[in-house]
Structure 1
């Protein structure tokens, strides 16, 4: 364990997991320790840097995009509601104009006018007469 080759004269790579390797070739049997690659664990794994896309920058970018989208949606909704309101106002005003049109006067006969005159109702207040009657 920990060596390979003729008479186990070579040592396994220090990056082989549990220092176990093939007794003939020296390739690591259980894989490599963290940060190393290859069958002999002699290649260093590339270090991934998060500096380019750090977490706070990603949150700021996502927040900015979200704000722009939300603002655009609010503007579109306000415009649509305004158009709808204007259409309703136009409909109401056109309904009002059609309902307020003056119809031609009806023909009034002289008999109708005389009917009102024949009633002979005096122009005194009935309310005052009633109140005077109740007191006596």
Structure 2
């Protein structure tokens, strides 16, 4: 699904990882190749990320196995972002186990808890290696919320 075909320089974007940013580069439509990077966003923290037309970020090792992490800013309901504080600080072995089980969440620089699989691996690895365990929590599963 090519979501960002008509994207323009200075469009305001929101990344679930980095927060608010602006498009600083858009590749001319005639030069784009399917599945390749089409635009670049610079975030308020100075981070720059390239994205495909369907919003897959440049840090993904396998673009076919990546999820969209960027949205137009006006599409995001900021009241619905999950940013509740963690209940307890996990230990390293708990973080490793939850990551292996794909139920680990990380507090993104944007200020919301998101699936750690959506974060750049280097950010997750650095936080673990630096002992920043307060940035992690066990994912709240949908059936736990309902029941």
TM-score (norm. length: structure 2):
0.15
More helix by share: 1
TM-score (norm. length: structure 1):
0.16
